[in-house]
Amino acid sequence: MSELNNIALKILENGKGILAADESTGTMTKRLESVNVPSTPQNRLLFRETLFTASSMNECIGGVILYDETIKQISSRKNKIPELISKIGSNPGIKVDTGAKVLSGSPDEKITEGLDGLRERLKEYYELGAKFTKWRGVYIISKNYPSKLSIESNAHALARYSALVQECNMVPIVEPEVLMEGEHSAKECYEKTSEVIKKCFEELILHKVDLKGIILKPNMILAGNKSKEKISKEEVAKLTLQCLKSSVPSEVPGIAFLSGGQSEIEATENLNLINKLNKTNFIMSYSYGRALQQSALKFWSKDLNNIEGTQKIFNHRAKMNTLAAQGKWSKELEI
C-alpha cells in the first residue's frame, strides 16, 4: 500500500471527515461581519483555533484544510497551527488554488488559477507540515453550461495540480464542484456532474496521477436552488450514488462530499442516506465548511471568550456528521 493511499485512508477512517477551514481572508471577513465580529488576523485565528482544539477533532475530524494565512500562524499554545492539528490526531492540509477567475472564451464561466509557481509553494507547505492539499474547480449549470471549454480546462488544471501534489508526497483533494445555483433539475445535475467527473478522471489518468492516493470532493446530486422541482432525500442519495458509481474508478479510496450551500441538517441527513444505501467500496464521508461551522460561529460571536460553549456546538455537528458517514445518524440525535 502506498504512503499516499495510507494518508487518504487515515483521513477518512472510521467515519472521520474533513473540516474545510480554508476560507480566504475575503470570505472569512464576510462570515465574521455577518455575525458582527471584526475580521482581524487575531479573530480569524481565535475562531479557528477554538474549533481545532475541540474534543471531537480527535474522533471525528481526520483532516483540516487550512488557508495560507492560517498554516503560518502560531497558536495561543505557542505551537504552529499544523503542529497543533497533528498533536490532536488529525492531518493538516492546505488549499493551494488562487481562486476562480473569468474563463477566457466563455466569460460567464470560471477557471481556477494557481498553477504558476505551485511546485515551489507545495515544497514550502510540505515543510510546514501539510499532508494533503485542495484545489476547487467550479461549474455552472444552465441551458448552455457547463461548456466543453469549462469542463476540459478545469479538468486539465485539476490533473496538473494533482500530479504536482503527489510529486511532493501529499494527497490531492480533487474538487470539481457543480454549483447548486440555478433552475436546473436533479436529472440535469446528474448528467452534468457525471460529465465533469468523467473528464476529470480522464485527465488524471493522462497525467499519471496515482488514483489510490487522491480524495474526490464532489457535490451531491441536487435540483438547483431556484428549481421548482421537489426531490426527496432518498432520490438525492440514489442519484448521487448512481452518478459516482458510474463515473469514479474503483481505485479511488474515498469520497468526501462538499455541503455546497445545504443547511447543516440537510448536509448531515443526505450524507446519512447515501451511506445507508452505499454498496460500493468507496468510503463516503464529508468535507464541510459552513455545514460544520455555522452554528458554532453564531454562538461564538455573542461571546468570543466562551470557548467551551462554542466547542460544544461544534462537537455536536462533527459527531452528527461522523455518524452520518457510517449511516448511523437519526433526527432524534439532534439537539
pLDDT digits (tens, 9 = 90+) for 17-47: 999 999 999 999 999 999 999 999 999 999 9
For 95, the domain range is 3-333
Q: Which of 195, 30, 22, 39 is closest to 99 using CA atoms?
A: 22
> What is the structure's pLDDT at 230?
86
> What is the structure's pLDDT at 211?
98
Assign residue 14 the CATH number of its domain: 3.20.20.70
Q: Which of 84, 54, 87, 57 is closest to 71 using CA atoms?
A: 84
> What is the structure's pLDDT at 1?
58
Q: Are 53 and 311 in contact (CB under 8 A)?
A: yes
The catalytic position among 217, 245, 302, 319 is 217
In the predicted model, residues of the chain with pLDDT beneath 70 are: 1, 335
> What is the structure's pLDDT at 284?
98
Q: How many domains does the chain have?
A: 1
What do you get for the CA distance between the two ends of the chain, in Å? Answer: 41
Is 72 in the active site? Answer: no
Task: Detail the DSSP E strand segments found in the chain.
Answer: 17-20, 61-66, 91-95, 100-103, 106-112, 132-139, 171-178, 215-216, 254-257, 283-288
Average pLDDT, the chain: 97
> What is the structure's pLDDT at 198?
98
Task: Measure Cα distances from 30 to 33, 34, 37 in Å.
Answer: 5, 6, 10
